[in-house]
Amino acid sequence: MGAARSLARIRPSPVALGISMARLARIVAYEPDDMTVVAESGVTVGELNTTMASARQRLPIDPCNPSMTTLGSVVCAAHSGPLRLSEGTSRDLLIGVRFVGHGGNLVHGGGRVVKNVAGYDLMKLMGGSFGTLGIVTEVTFKVRPVPPEYCLALIPYARAADAFAAARIVNDALPLSNLDILSPSLATRFNSTLQFLLLAGFSGSPLEIGYQAERIRDLVDPRGEILDDEAALRSYELLRDFDFHSAPLAAQIAVPLAHLARALEACGNDIEFRAHAGSGVAKILLADEPSAERAAKTVARWREAAHSARGTLRLLAAAPAIRDSLEVFDTPNAGALSLMRRLKATFDPAGIFNPGCFVGGI
**pLDDT greater at residue 131 or residue 1:** 131
Share of the chain above pLDDT 90, in %: 81
- The CATH number that applies at residue 20 is 3.30.465.10
Query: pLDDT (tens digit, 9 = 90+) per residue, 170-206?
Result: 999 999 999 999 999 999 999 767 899 999 999 999 9
Per the domain annotation, does 330 fall within a domain? no
Query: pLDDT (tens digit, 9 = 90+) per residue, 128-161?
Result: 999 999 999 999 999 999 999 999 999 999 999 9
Which amino acid is located at 176 in the chain? L
The mean pLDDT value for 10-37 works out to: 84
Write down which residue in 99, 123, 145 finishes a domain.
145
- The CATH number that applies at residue 306 is 3.30.70
Shared domain for 139 and 209, answered yes or no, is no
| Residue 2 confidence (pLDDT) | 46
Shared domain for 254 and 266, answered yes or no, is yes
| Residue 6 confidence (pLDDT) | 47
User: Mean pLDDT for the chain?
Assistant: 91
Domains in the chain, number: 3
Shared domain for 137 and 169, answered yes or no, is no
Shared domain for 15 and 117, answered yes or no, is yes
Shared domain for 219 and 292, answered yes or no, is no
User: What residues have CB less than 8 Å from 276, skipping those under 6 apart?
Assistant: 82, 84, 85, 178, 179, 180, 282
| Residue 226 confidence (pLDDT) | 94
| Residue 325 confidence (pLDDT) | 84
Query: pLDDT (tens digit, 9 = 90+) per residue, 336-354?
Result: 999 999 999 999 999 999 9
Q: Could you tell me which of 27, 55, 37 has the C-alpha nearest to residue 143?
A: 37
- Is the pLDDT at 4 greater than 80, yes or no? no
Per the domain annotation, does 249 fall within a domain? yes
Shared domain for 98 and 225, answered yes or no, is no
- How does residue 258 score in pLDDT terms, banded at 50, 70 and 90? very high
Provide the whole-model pTM: 0.91
- The CATH number that applies at residue 153 is 3.30.70.2190
Per the domain annotation, does 42 fall within a domain? yes
- Is the pLDDT at 10 greater than 80, yes or no? no
How far apart, in whole angstroms, are the C-alpha atoms of residue 353 and residue 331? 21
Per the domain annotation, does 178 fall within a domain? yes
How far apart, in whole angstroms, are the C-alpha atoms of residue 274 and residue 252? 10
Shared domain for 71 and 186, answered yes or no, is no
The mean pLDDT value for 9-18 works out to: 62
Shared domain for 26 and 126, answered yes or no, is yes
| Residue 130 confidence (pLDDT) | 92
- Is the pLDDT at 115 greater than 70, yes or no? no
Share of the chain above pLDDT 70, in %: 93
Per the domain annotation, does 179 fall within a domain? yes
CB 104 within 8 A of CB 116: no
Query: pLDDT (tens digit, 9 = 90+) per residue, 46-69?
Result: 999 999 999 999 999 999 999 999
Q: Backbone dihedral region of 56: left (phi > 0), alpha (psi from -120 to 50 degrees) or beta?
A: left
CB 173 within 8 A of CB 127: no
Per the domain annotation, does 354 fall within a domain? no
Shared domain for 101 and 234, answered yes or no, is no
Per the domain annotation, does 68 fall within a domain? yes
Tell me the residue range of the domain where 250 lies: 244-323
Per the domain annotation, does 342 fall within a domain? no
Shared domain for 21 and 135, answered yes or no, is yes
Shared domain for 253 and 222, answered yes or no, is no
- Is the pLDDT at 1 greater than 50, yes or no? no
Query: pLDDT (tens digit, 9 = 90+) per residue, 259-271?
Result: 999 999 999 999 9
Write down which residue in 240, 261, 276 finishes a domain.
240
| Residue 13 confidence (pLDDT) | 60
Shared domain for 297 and 211, answered yes or no, is no
Give the angle 103-37-48 at the CA atoms, nearest 5°.
95
Half-sphere exposure of 167 toward its Cβ, with a 13 Å CA cutoff? 32
Write down which residue in 211, 240, 269 finishes a domain.
240
| Residue 17 confidence (pLDDT) | 74
